[in-house]
Structure 1
């Protein structure tokens, strides 16, 4: 199963390298696009759950690394809940 990394920039300018166990993330996020935090999290949650399910189908267990990545994104996103104009930019994909 091809895994990939994707780079994001949070509203405060901090960058983060994120992990997906599947290329499905490319179906939900686009490089160069800025999503409001809630939309970014909705898309990330969907993609990482699909990716984890694909691992489960192939190996018989969910991808704990994908779930860990999702938990980390959820925690980081909480910092920006009060900011109505906050956006997360997808800066790159690395296969």
Structure 2
């Protein structure tokens, strides 16, 4: 199962690196796109939940790293107003051509 990382820039300029055990993040977020904090939190935690379930389907257990990433995003998002914005600055690896 291909894993990936994605980087986001929070409203205060802080950059956070996030991990996913699946490329499913590409289905929910797009590089160069700005989301409100509330929308980003929803999209990211939904995607990471799907990623954890893909791991469960393949290996019989959910990915705790995906859960930790979702928790870290949720914790960071609580520092900002839901209408502030988050930028998706990178996703690696890109989707296969």
TM-score past 0.5 threshold: yes
Normalised by the length of structure 1, the TM-score is 0.95
Q: Deviations over 1:23-79 (max 9, x none)?
A: 000000000001000000110011000000000000000000000000011100000
Give the RMSD, CA atoms, in angstroms: 0.9
> Please, which runs of 5 or more residues in structure 1 have no aligned partner?
none
**Residue 70 of structure 1 aligns with which residue?**
70
Q: 1:90 aligns with which of 84, 88, 91?
A: 88
Q: 1:84 deviation in Å? A: 5.4
Normalised by the length of structure 2, the TM-score is 0.93
Aligned residues: 93
Give the direction of change, closer, same or farther, for the CA distance of 1:34–1:2 in structure 2 (3 Å limit). same
Task: Find runs of 4+ consecutive structure 1 residues off by over 2 angstroms.
Answer: none
> Please, which runs of 5 or more residues in structure 2 have no aligned partner?
none
